[in-house]
Each structure stands twice: as structure tokens, then as C-alpha cells.
Chains A and B, each alone.
Chain A
């Protein structure tokens, strides 16, 4: 059996595919934005869960006012504590799936994604369940109100 041609093909193909292969897997995070026809200036329904991210820390509030506040810790924001609180909130309002993220302009994009992750899903390590728990997957983004009109801290 003459397999030289086949072997040649393999020897060329394998290194070529190995070089072009992408081993980092990409995914997408969807945003829950209002449709462009309804202007963002319209008053939003107030029952939404709101997470305000500032340089100093993260404030979580709902329609009854602020729930909790997490100061920035040494190595950045305390995402684990935020997720813990989100699990508690989700236990109280299980039917709610949406949340609003309000951010200060100088917050970097990485933080936006990490906070979105903390609000979106609780990993099985964090909940102690057998699988991940979905919290508030529909996330809208917005501007944080300026410091002067900031709601009183709890």
C-alpha cells in the first residue's frame, strides 16, 4: 500500500491547522437596550434593580432606595460580595430578570464586563449548587447620576 501521498498531505495539513487554530474561545454578552424609537430621556419604570458603579465603590438599589453599598477593596471591586447580594435579591424577587447598570464615565470597560458578570450569573462555586444560577441576565447600561444628586448611602 502506497501511503506516501497521504502522509505528505497530513504532514502539511497538521502544522498548518495547528498554527491557524484559535485556542481562546470567544463569546458574546448581549445587552438589553431600549429600542431607539423610544428615547432614553423617557422616565424608566422604577421597579428596576439598579447597580451604580462609581470610582469609590458599588451601590445597589431598587425602587425602595439603596439596598447595600460595597466599598472598593485593595485589589479592585468586590465582585464576589456583589454576586452574594444579587443571589439574595433574586431570592426575594424570583420573577425579575432585568437590571440596570449605571456607570461613571471613567470606569474602564473591563470593570463594566466584570460587574455585568457578577449581576448576570452566580457560579456553582458561589452558590454551592450543582450548576450555575442565572440571576439578572437582561442588563441595560446607563450613566451614573452626578455626585451632587447622589442618593443617600444606607
Chain B
């Protein structure tokens, strides 16, 4: 008797529990909504420069954001203009002076860009150079020379932004 009564009670309780068992999802939804908007905004903001896996960019304190420009990428293997391989890096570091293949590619890029102010013919625009941090200056110089020869007026280097705490730890320790 006692046993069955207890069983009955448990059954009732289990039924009650089942009836109320709708999960409370409000806070979870809040988190998801905030996360989605945060990630959407972030992915929209960093879209300008591609994330290069095979490229080790140097770190810098620079804070200026990248703009939409012609992108010259110098990896250990190839030189790329806007994602298209132009010439192997080994070949570029051998010769001296201007890099012909790169210049042709840059001029082809300039033709595709619609000119707005035609009065300044000597300036085709901006170039962002993304280079691996192990490359020698002589190679960077050749690329820069070619860029200026191809009438691009403004050059900038893409760098990885670092926060200043790590600077203090790494930079000023002697």
C-alpha cells in the first residue's frame, strides 16, 4: 500500500515536471544575437586586406586602417598583384633594377581602375605592399621602385597591429 502510494506520488510529480518542462531560452538567444551582430560588424570592418596564411607580416604600432588599394603581396615564393601571381620571388631578387613582369601587371591594374580626376596623370593611386618579414630590403626596394615607375604615387606597408603592452615587454627589455 505504502509502496504504491509513493509510486503514485512520484508519477504525479513526474507528470507535473513534464508539463512545465519548456526550456528557458531567453538568455541564450540574447547571447547569440549579440554575438552575431558583433561578428558581423567585425567581419565587415576587416574585409579590406586578405588574411594571408603563408605570409608573416611584421608587427607595428601603426593604427591607420587599410584602404581599398591595389595590393602587392610578396611572399617567400611569389609576387602577387591583387591575388594573382606575377613572378617568382627568387627571380625578382636576382635581377637588378625594375621588375618588368610586375610593372606590366601594375599597368594592367591601372587600366582597369576608372580615373576620376584626369588632370593629374602622373599619379595612378595607392599601393599597399604586404611583404614577409624575412625578406631583404633590396627586394622590397625593387618592388617599391617598380611601383613608383608604374606611376603609383603613394605606397604603404601592411603590418600586423600589436598592442602596446607587448611592446613594453618585448621591446624595451635589455
Contact = CB atoms under 8 A, between A and B. Distances in A.
A28 B134 contact: no
A141 B171 CA distance: 23
A121 B122 CA distance: 31
Interface of B: 25, 29, 32-33, 35-36, 39-40, 42-43, 46, 48-49, 51, 57-67, 122-123, 128, 131-138, 140-141, 144, 148-149, 151, 153-161, 164, 167-168, 171-172, 174
Interface in A32-71: 33, 35-37
Chain A interface size, as a band, is 35 or more
A5 interface: no
Q: What secondary structure prevails in chain A residues at the interface with B?
A: mixed
A88 interface: no
Contacts of A25: 46, 160-161
B141 A35 contact: no
Interface string A93-117: 0000000000111111111111011
Contact of B123 (A11, A18, A30, A35): A35
Contact of B60 (A29, A78, A104, A111): A29
Interface in A1-26: 3, 6-7, 10-11, 13-14, 17-18, 20-22, 24-26
A109 B48 CA distance: 22
Contacts of B64: 27-30
Contact of B137 (A6, A14, A108, A121): A108
A27 B63 CA distance: 6
Contacts of B155: 30-31, 33
Most-contacted residue by chain A among B33, B58, B137 (CB, 10 A): B137
A47 B57 CA distance: 33
Contacts of B57: 26
Kindly list the 8 A-B residue pairs having the minimum CB-CB distance in the complex, ordered from nearest. Answer: A105-B138, A17-B39, A110-B133, A10-B32, A113-B58, A80-B172, A28-B156, A27-B62
